[in-house]
Amino acid sequence: MKIRPLADRVLVKQAAAETKTAGGLYIPETAQEKTQQAEVVAVGPGTEKEKITVKVGEKVLYDKYSGTAIKIDGEDYLILKSSDIIAVVE
C-alpha cells in the first residue's frame, strides 16, 4: 500500500523505543515510552500558508501527543501536520 499525504501533512515512521537503560537494565515492552523521534517517509505538497520544510529521509522530533497513528503492511506510522514537527535531527 502506498500513502501520499495531502496539504501540509507529513508521513513518518517512528524510531524504535529504547529497550535498555544506560546502566544495562532491560526495559519491558509495557514500560517503554514512545519516542518522539521519527524518519520522514513522505511529504504533502504544502499550502500557501504552510510550506513543507522537511524532506524525505530526514530524522525529526515532533510533539508528544500529535499525529494520527496508522498501520501499513504491519508497520506503524504517523501522519503529522508539518507544524507538529519541532526540529530536524542532524
Residue type, 86: I
Q: Any idea of the CA torsion for 15, 44, 4, 90, to the nearest 10 degrees?
A: -20
The percent helix, strand, coil of the chain (3-state, each to 5) is 5, 40, 55
The pTM score is 0.81
Band of pLDDT at residue 7, cut at 50, 70 and 90: very high
pLDDT at 59: 95
Q: How far apart are CA 75 and CA 90, in angstroms?
A: 25
* pLDDT over 80 (residue 30): no
> Taking a C-beta distance cutoff of 8 angstroms, is the pair 61, 40 a contact?
no
